[in-house]
């Protein structure tokens, strides 16, 4: 698992958007299995990628319809198996018509945790080899957060995973961490390596450890630390 960390505006979302070609890189290349993503047919490329956003998209239709967007030919048994793995089956079964219950536009009839679990179930059903995850648990209540986090751990197993990290536990678990600042990768390594080499990374971990989000605007002191970190660690943007 590769984790991306950075303050608001650092370029995390832009970077992950290059993989499914929501944008194309103007310089350099993005490779999957050694092949430039621009050489793939767009449909074939996106079939290899599952995305779980921080704010999941649910459309007007039944619960089953929304899950089948992950794989249109999925059987009912496969849908229920994915929902069970995502800890969604129990709450779906309690809905008035179960999997045939109509979902309001944007999922407004469901809680944040329920929408997230359906989003994870949809990604499980797709069973794509590449997972892009904008870690969705930071705004949930404690019970929903624990349930969704458990589902996400199952989803990540056996896949190439790129996660925009909002939790200290996620960056600790990552095999590789990329620290972004001003649209550039300014440091990379494991959690322990970056604690030694990057002042900017240490500052971000300190924010996470006291429950502050990396998406909150940086204070003047933090901006000064960020500039200092690039100098002290020997990294330079660009």
Q: What is the mean pLDDT of the segment spanning 126-146? A: 77
Over the chain, what is the mean pLDDT?
Answer: 83
Higher pLDDT pick, 179 / 235: 179
- Specify the pTM: 0.79
| Residue 221: C-alpha distances to residues 154, 218, 227, 228, 235 (Å) | 38, 8, 10, 10, 20
Q: Which domain holds residue 123?
A: 58-127
Q: What is the per-residue pLDDT across 172-224, written as a single tens digit (0 to 9) for each?
A: 888 999 999 999 999 999 999 999 999 999 988 888 776 655 655 555 455 45
Same domain, 159 and 230: yes
pLDDT at 107: 66
Domain-ending residue, one of 95, 127, 159: 127
74 inside domain: yes
Q: Where are the beta strands (DSSP E) in 73-174?
A: 102-103, 130-134, 160-164
Last residue of a domain, one of 71, 101, 127: 127
Contacts of 210-214 with C-beta under 8 Å, sequence gap 24+, read 213/138, 213/166, 214/5, 214/6, 214/7, 214/8, 214/165, 214/166
Residue-wise pLDDT tens digits, 90-134:
999 999 999 999 998 766 678 888 898 899 899 989 999 999 988
Residue 54's CB is within 10 A of a number of other CB atoms, namely 17
Same domain, 76 and 134: no
Residue with tokens 């300014």: 186
Task: State residue 2's pLDDT score.
Answer: 93
Same domain, 114 and 139: no
């Amino acid at each position: 698992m590769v984790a991306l960390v950075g303050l608001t505006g650092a370029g995390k979302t832009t970077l992950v958007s290059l993989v499914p070609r929501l944008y194309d890189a103007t310089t350099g290349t993005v490779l999957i299995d050694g092949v430039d993503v621009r050489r793939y047919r767009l449909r074939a490329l996106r079939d290899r990628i599952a995305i779980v956003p921080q704010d999941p998209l649910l459309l007007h239709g039944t619960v089953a319809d929304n899950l089948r967007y992950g794989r249109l030919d999925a059987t009912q048994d496969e849908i229920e198996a994915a929902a069970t793995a995502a800890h969604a089956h129990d709450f779906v079964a309690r809905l008035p018509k179960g999997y045939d219950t109509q979902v309001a536009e944007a999922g407004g009839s469901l809680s944040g945790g329920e929408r997230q679990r359906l989003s994870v179930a949809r990604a499980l059903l797709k069973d794509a080899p590449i997972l892009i995850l904008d870690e969705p648990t930071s705004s949930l209540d404690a019970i929903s957060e624990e349930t969704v986090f458990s589902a996400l751990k199952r989803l990540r197993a056996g896949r190439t995973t790129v996660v925009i990290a909002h939790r200290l536990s996620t960056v600790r678990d990552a095999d590789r961490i990329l620290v972004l600042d001003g649209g550039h990768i300014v440091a990379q390594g494991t959690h322990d390596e970056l604690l030694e080499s990057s002042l900017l990374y240490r500052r971000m971990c300190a924010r996470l450890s006291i429950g502050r989000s990396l998406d909150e605007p940086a204070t003047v002191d933090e901006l000064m630390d960020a500039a200092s970190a690039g100098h002290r660690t020997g990294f330079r943007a660009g």
